[in-house]
């Protein structure tokens, strides 16, 4: 896929306010309870974000798969952020056994499959496009995303008219999704998230970013999801190339080296400023739906 530098379309900004890994030990401003997540999404929506990427927590601030909590957050966003695209992360997150810094495990395949039946229904559900060893802090577990399991999940999304965000953590994951397209499993437009900097996935670098872009199919929409200190440099590179970006506390809790961000909206505001300096305007939720052919 070759970026078209003569036709820089409006940029779609996704905000991932919470994530399924670190908590307030990383940044006290990270929103955990439903009302706090909805408020963070509302502030980010007003700042320019058009997609809300969701993970939820229980009353103790631990990552949760509880459909009732998802429902509360989804209802709040639908009510307060008119037209904002809701996108639920299918990986859910990590559960620590006997406390933080202890062995960890992912959520079960049944819990992840149950996201198909959330009420209210989200606009998008994430497809994690390949199996790999997911590493966080001093723990590691096998993140199982076989093509067989993803086939069942994507078909369930198709039946419910839920769009997919295709999260690829390596170049081979792009190939996995193209194979499912060729088999007729993926039938609609393809929206890729190029996830870079996860320990266990492709490292964050300009060279690796270009290699991933080169493997994307023509006609796909795409964004970069860059973790940690490389987020701003690579996001700026992507904005200059015509791509889209994701920001928020799920991916980076620092605003600058050694300085914690004060809010997710602060991250969105910076993204908007950089985009406009590069001659790109910000897509509204309705424009984002049209760009991703979400009809």
pLDDT of residue 135: 75
Per-residue pLDDT reduced to its tens digit, 126-160: 999 999 988 766 677 788 999 999 999 999 999 99
Mean pLDDT, rounded, for 254-270: 97
Average pLDDT, the chain: 93
- Residue 248: asked if its preceding bond is cis (omega within 30°), the reply is no
- What whole-number distance in Å separates Cα of residue 20 and Cα of residue 94? 6
Express as a percent the part of the chain with pLDDT over 70.
93
Residue 102 has pLDDT above 70, yes or no: no
Per-residue pLDDT reduced to its tens digit, 205-242: 999 999 999 999 999 999 999 999 899 999 999 999 99
> Rounded to the nearest 5°, which phi and psi values hold at 103?
-55, 145
pLDDT of residue 139: 72
Confidence category of residue 79, pLDDT binned at 50, 70, 90: very high
pLDDT of residue 197: 93
Radius of gyration of the chain (CA): 17
- What whole-number distance in Å separates Cα of residue 67 and Cα of residue 175? 32
Beta bridge partners of 193: 167, 223
How many other C-beta atoms lie within 10 A of the C-beta of residue 172? 13
Closest among 72, 166, 150, 77 to 116, alpha carbons compared:
150
Domain spanning 13-291, CATH architecture: Alpha-Beta Barrel (3.20)
Q: Which residues contact 60 (CB under 8 A, 6 or more apart)?
A: none
Mean pLDDT, rounded, for 89-103: 69
Residue 76 has pLDDT above 70, yes or no: yes
Closest among 30, 29, 11 to 250, alpha carbons compared:
30
Where in the chain are the domains? 13-291
Residue 95 has pLDDT above 90, yes or no: no
Confidence category of residue 256, pLDDT binned at 50, 70, 90: very high
- What whole-number distance in Å separates Cα of residue 107 and Cα of residue 86? 21
pLDDT of residue 5: 56
> Rounded to the nearest 5°, which phi and psi values hold at 227?
-95, 130
Confidence category of residue 2, pLDDT binned at 50, 70, 90: low
End-to-end CA distance of the chain: 24
Residue 98 has pLDDT above 60, yes or no: no
Mean pLDDT, rounded, for 39-57: 98
């Amino acid at each position: 896929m070759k970026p078209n530098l003569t036709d820089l379309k409006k940029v779609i900004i996704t905000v991932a306010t919470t994530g399924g890994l670190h908590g307030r030990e990383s940044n006290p401003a990270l929103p955990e309870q439903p009302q706090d997540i909805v408020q963070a999404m509302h502030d980010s929506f007003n700042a320019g974000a058009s997609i809300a990427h969701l993970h939820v927590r229980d009353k103790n601030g631990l990552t949760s798969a509880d459909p009732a909590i998802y429902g509360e957050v989804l209802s709040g966003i639908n009510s307060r952020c008119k037209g904002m695209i809701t996108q639920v992360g299918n990986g859910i997150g990590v559960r620590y056994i006997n406390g933080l810094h202890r062995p960890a495990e992912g959520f079960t395949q049944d819990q992840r499959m149950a996201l198909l039946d959330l009420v209210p229904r989200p606009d998008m559900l994430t497809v994690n496009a390949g199996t790999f060893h997911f590493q966080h802090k001093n723990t590691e577990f096998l993140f199982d995303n076989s093509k067989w399991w993803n086939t069942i999940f994507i078909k369930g999304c198709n039946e419910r008219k839920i769009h997919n965000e295709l999260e690829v953590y390596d170049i081979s994951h792009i190939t996995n999704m193209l194979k499912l397209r060729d088999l007729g499993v993926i039938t609609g437009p393809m929206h890729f998230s190029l996830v870079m900097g996860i320990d266990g996935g492709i490292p964050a670098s300009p060279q690796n970013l270009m290699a991933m872009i080169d493997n994307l199919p023509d006609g796909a929409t795409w964004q970069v999801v860059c973790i940690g200190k490389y987020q701003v440099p690579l996001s700026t590179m992507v904005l200059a190339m015509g791509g889209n970006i994701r920001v928020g506390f799920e991916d980076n809790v620092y605003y600058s080296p050694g300085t914690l961000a004060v809010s997710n909206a602060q991250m969105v505001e910076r993204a908007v400023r950089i985009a406009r300096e590069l001659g790109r305007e910000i897509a509204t939720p309705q424009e984002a739906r049209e760009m991703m052919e979400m009809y």
